[in-house]
Amino acid sequence: MLLEIVSKYSAETEVEAKELIEKFRQEAAQKGYTVKKASYERKDKKAKGEVIATAFVVSVTQVFGKLWEEL
């Protein structure tokens, strides 16, 4: 039985990262899971001390079931 999945996605902007997290939260009931944890982190690519690119890594933990459902 599948218990949980931790997924990571890339987003180009902070707004896109927040929208992706909200999408998972809205779809949770329809698709039979709960969102245990959702976060994003900004990553900067630097060259010679200057930021040349920025991306956001979105991490979502989806819970599909418990090991012991009766507890």
Q: How many domains does the chain have?
A: 1
Return the H-helix or E-strand segment holding 30. Answer: helix 14-31
Indicate yes or no: pTM above 0.95: no
Quote the domain boundaries for residue 42.
Answer: 4-63
The reply to whether 45 falls in a domain is yes
Residue 69 has pLDDT above 90, yes or no: no
Backbone angles phi, psi at 12, to 5 degrees: -80, -30
pLDDT at 58 (0 to 100): 98
Q: Give the phi and the psi of residue 21 in degrees, each rounded to 5.
A: -60, -45
Whether 21 is in a domain gets the answer yes
In one-letter notation, the amino acid at residue 39 is S
**Does residue 53 lie within any of the structural domains?**
yes
> Can you tell me the distance from the alpha carbon of 1 to that of 38, in angstroms, rounded to the nearest whole number?
22
Please report whether residue 12 resides in a domain. yes
Q: Over the stretch 17-61, which tens digit does the pLDDT of each residue have?
A: 999 999 999 999 899 999 999 999 999 999 999 999 999 999 999
Structure tokens at 20: 């992706």
Residue 71 lies in a domain: no
